[in-house]
C-alpha cells in the first residue's frame, strides 16, 4: 500500500511594528517564496521617481494595498507558499486576512518590540522612511497576541 503525504501551502503572517525585523527575517529565512507587502510597491515607486518612501507614501498606499491583495489572491489561487509582511497587530486586522487563506497552513510569526535604543537605531537606518512616534505607540498599544483560535496553524516568536 502506498501512502501519499498531502501538504497544504504555507503563509507566514508576520506580526510586529515597523523596524522589528520582519523584512529582514523574510530575506534571511524565506528569500525564494512569494512575498506580499505594501512596502514593496511603495519602495518601487519611490525608486522609479527618485523620491523617498515618505514622499510617495500618501499617493501610493491605496494602490499598494490593492496590488498586495491581488498578489495574495494569486498566491492563494495557485497554492503558493508566501510571506505576508504587514504589521498585523490586532485580531480584527488579522481576521480579514485569515479569511482569504482557505486551504493554507498559516504560521503567525511574532516580532517583539526591540529595546528603545535598538529600535531608534533601526528607524534611523531607513532614510526617507519615518514613522512618527505616536504611530508606533498606537501600534504597540493595539497589539493583541495571536492565538490558534484565530485560525493559525502555528505561532512562533522570531529570534
Give tens-digit pLDDT for 16-28.
999 999 999 999 9
Question: Nearest 5°: phi and psi at 133?
Answer: -60, -40
pTM above 0.85, yes or no: yes
Exposure string for 124-157, b = 16+ CB within 10 A, e = fewer: eeeeebeeeeeebeebeeebeebeeebbbeebee
Model confidence band, residue 5 (pLDDT cutoffs 50, 70, 90) = very low
Give tens-digit pLDDT for 103-133.
999 999 999 999 999 999 999 999 999 999 9
Model confidence band, residue 4 (pLDDT cutoffs 50, 70, 90) = very low
The backbone region for 98, taken as left when phi is positive above 0, alpha when psi lies in -120 to 50, beta otherwise, is alpha
Give tens-digit pLDDT for 70-97.
999 999 999 999 999 999 999 999 999 9
Residue ranges and CATH numbers for the domains of the chain are 10-157 (3.40.50.300)
Amino acid at each position: 500500500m502506498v501512502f501519499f503525504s498531502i501538504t497544504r501551502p504555507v503563509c507566514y503572517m508576520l506580526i510586529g511594528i515597523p523596524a522589528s525585523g520582519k523584512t529582514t527575517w523574510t530575506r534571511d529565512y524565506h528569500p525564494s517564496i512569494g512575498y506580499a507587502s505594501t512596502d514593496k510597491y511603495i519602495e518601487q515607486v519611490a525608486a522609479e521617481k527618485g523620491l523617498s518612501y515618505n514622499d510617495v507614501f500618501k499617493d501610493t498606499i491605496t494602490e499598494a494595498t490593492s496590488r498586495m491583495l491581488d498578489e495574495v489572491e494569486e498566491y492563494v489561487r495557485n497554492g503558493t507558499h508566501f510571506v505576508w509582511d504587514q504589521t498585523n497587530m490586532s485580531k480584527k486586522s488579522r481576521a480579514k486576512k485569515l479569511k482569504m487563506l482557505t486551504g493554507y497552513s498559516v504560521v503567525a510569526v511574532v516580532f517583539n518590540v526591540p529595546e528603545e535604543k535598538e529600535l531608534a537605531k533601526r528607524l534611523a537606518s531607513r532614510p526617507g522612511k519615518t514613522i512618527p512616534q505616536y504611530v508606533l505607540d498606537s501600534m504597540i498599544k493595539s497589539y493583541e497576541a495571536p492565538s490558534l483560535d484565530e485560525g493559525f496553524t502555528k505561532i512562533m516568536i522570531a529570534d
